[in-house]
Amino acid sequence: MAEVYQAIRMNIDGQAWRTIGLEADGRSVWVIDQTQLPHCFGTRTLRSCEQAAVAISNMVVRGAPLIGVTGAYGLMLALQDDASDAALAAAFDALNATRPTAVNLRWALERVRDHVLPLPPLERAAAAREEAGLIADEDVAMCSAIGDHGLEIIQSLVAARPESRQSKPFQVLTHCNAGWLATVDWGTALAPIYKARRAGLDLHVWVDETRPRNQGASLTAYELSREGVPHTVIVDNAGGHLMQNGEVDAVIVGTDRTTRRGDVCNKIGTYLKALAAYDNAVPFYVALPASTIDWSLDDGVAEIPIEARSPQEVTAIQGRLIDGPAAGTLAQVQLTPNGSTGFNPAFDVTPARLVTALITDRGVADASEEGLKSLYGCG
């Protein structure tokens, strides 16, 4: 059973949680099983590197920062079984291959590998355990800082609204899930919303359903409901209509990989939201920790590998049965005629020119190489 953490954001039925942590034995890892949300909350225990890799591939855990932390613990699990150089390299490659787009995974794996490789084999598992824990704690701190910087933006936007809108809730649109469940705690894009809620701001969130896996409808809505944040789930194609009619004050999304010049790669459909925001003069913000910046890449469209997932995620959908003898159980149903195929790119790239600003753990930056270097130096 997961241990209780204090002074953190995620609250499930009155109990504080992170998304990942060590089991009581100190050798295995528990994670929240996100494939069962929002209808069933539970955890899974990972006891091997192979189980960690499957959890990442099958999206038991998802979200770039959380994938990275899970990968770090995956190396710990591998080293507990075999701490040789060859086993470490094999585990690194197996975990790194699970999700090719999110750079946090490679970043975390490299950090643990480089930390333990100089050590004697007998010391490596314990060192990996400690380093993975540090990465998790740092993620919480970075996401909290993102929330603080994003709160300042929201406060300034609220103050700048015309008098006619001052009595109305501040309207934020978000795409996919970049909250608690995508990180260890707090989230990236949702952290400013949680901080704003705590600060007493009156706000409302438009939640894109985010086909095909519906992370918005299932995960973001789940989080916001438990935080008590007013929200409405919308179909993915409604965002532009809402912006045209003055119903969106800002868009805030996350990112799985950000190039040094500020191109951002996020869940498929993000680019279309950025285009609609640009056309309607709605500010479009991207929230990210340092671990999501890939300083080796420049042109996101040309250089970021885009994961293609199973076509079945497009042609079928999971949900809870509403009526009948099996009411209340989870089931998959087919959406398309037999013989129709699906195409399922998991991400798209939004060019930096469409991004109003990047909300990072170190502050707010222009979406440019100069902007990022002003906060992080040369990477």
Q: How many CB atoms lie within 10 A of CB 174?
A: 27
CA neighbor of 287 nearest in space, from 96, 113, 144, 126:
144
The residues near 262 (Cβ < 8 Å, ≥ 6 apart) are 352, 355, 358, 366, 367, 368, 369, 371, 372
- Please report where in the chains the tokens 């990442």 appear, as a residue: 56
Q: Are strands 357-360 and 284-288 parallel, antiparallel or unpaired?
A: parallel
The contacts of residue 118 (CB under 8 Å, 6+ apart) are none
Show Cβ contacts of residue 128 under 8 Å, excluding neighbours closer than 6 positions. 72, 75, 76, 79, 112, 115, 116
Let me know: does 148 contact 186? Beta carbons within 8 Å: no
Question: Which residue intervals of the chain are DSSP H helices?
Answer: 49-57, 64-81, 85-96, 103-116, 121-160, 191-198, 215, 221-227, 239-244, 270-279, 300-303, 312-315, 369-376
Measure the CA–CA gap between 79 and 238, rounded to whole angstroms. Answer: 48
Burial class of residue 218 (count of CB atoms within 10 Å of its CB; 0-12, 13-18, 19+) = buried
The CB-side HSE value for 104 (13 A sphere, CA atoms) comes to 31
Q: Is 185 known to be catalytic?
A: no
Of the candidates 185, 256, 348, 361, the residue annotated as catalytic is 256
Asked whether the beta carbons of 196 and 158 are under 8 A apart, the reply is: no
Give catalytic residue positions.
256
